[in-house]
Structure 1
Amino acid sequence: MCPHNTHEKKKQYIITGNDIHYPSQTNHDTCFIPENVRQYTGEPLYIIVAHWCQQQQDWVQRGQISEAFHITARRASYLISYLRNKASRVVCVCRRRTLSNKVQRCEIYVVRVLESPEPAPRERTVTPPLSRRRVGNGSSAQANELWNRLRSNRSEGKILKKEDEDDGM
């Protein structure tokens, strides 16, 4: 146990209807979606959070995201970190605030959220059909010649055996 009780407890909320965001990753929990960003329900959570932050038109802290989306402050700080570092669709500015206890907190201001790019249709490249019968780099003519030579050697061997047997009698 931590003696200072600094760990946050997960708040329990009753979530109904289409207020729930079901993440595509199974290791992520569901969360609440505020009414003013429900039109983005099909988007990933970080994009929904970015739209919400943009609507605030002010600097946003992890506590505000935590309250609005009913998630832990730790998960909210992960989302802020993702928005700052990884999100190519989000244009934002970050600033660090130093609290009275010398702890630094990051705040973000979302300038713009870019639309999802439409996937470009892929052109099908024409590839020759694969031949499953060939192995190695020899041609079929070489393979046929080798096969015929092996067969003729086999039959010659039988003839020689018969001659040896005939001579021995």
Structure 2
Amino acid sequence: MDQIIEDGFVRLTETIEEYNGKIDELDEAIRSDLGGLLSRMVALTTPLIGSLGQQFLQKTKKDGKGELYDTIHYDEKMIIIGRAEEPVTIRPDDMTRKVDKQFCVLTEKGLIAELMFSDDGFIIDSYLNPLTADEAIDFYGPGVIYMLYRALHDYANLEEELIHSLEMTIAFILDEKK
């Protein structure tokens, strides 16, 4: 009886090792084309950015009290899908501008880009640096895929809640008219 248990245990450990090898193989297959996955997700998301995105600050000035004036926003809407833990030190468009905050965004034109903000105490401005899907994965990590998914998931839930609320309001209005 002991030999049967030992043989079963050996087979169990061999099976686990086989599964681990298969898991590693499948994981590698997925990771090998994260840029392709992000590109396909971007193509599906782009038509929705106009309704779920926001217009971000392009340039503004700050007065002595910290109040903003002469504010300009980007024309197109964007959603944030990543944030740099450590922003690059200088902007590619102006080597004299230090980067204070840096985000990975998706624009309503389907462009993946870095949105880099600089603040010298008087002028806050930004630079939109285009990225490929692979560059976004390399610079910001695979979390950009999750963030894009999460943005759509949350938006869908809000839309569902809004529809439910509107239906309840209509039902209430129609009941009052009776």
Give the TM-score range, shorter chain.
Answer: under 0.3
User: What TM-score do the two structures reach when normalised by structure 1?
Assistant: 0.23
Bigger proportion of residues as helix: 2
User: What TM-score do the two structures reach when normalised by structure 2?
Assistant: 0.22
Q: Highest relative contact order (Cα 8 Å, sep 6+), 1 or 2?
A: 2
Of the two, which has the highest radius of gyration? Answer: 1
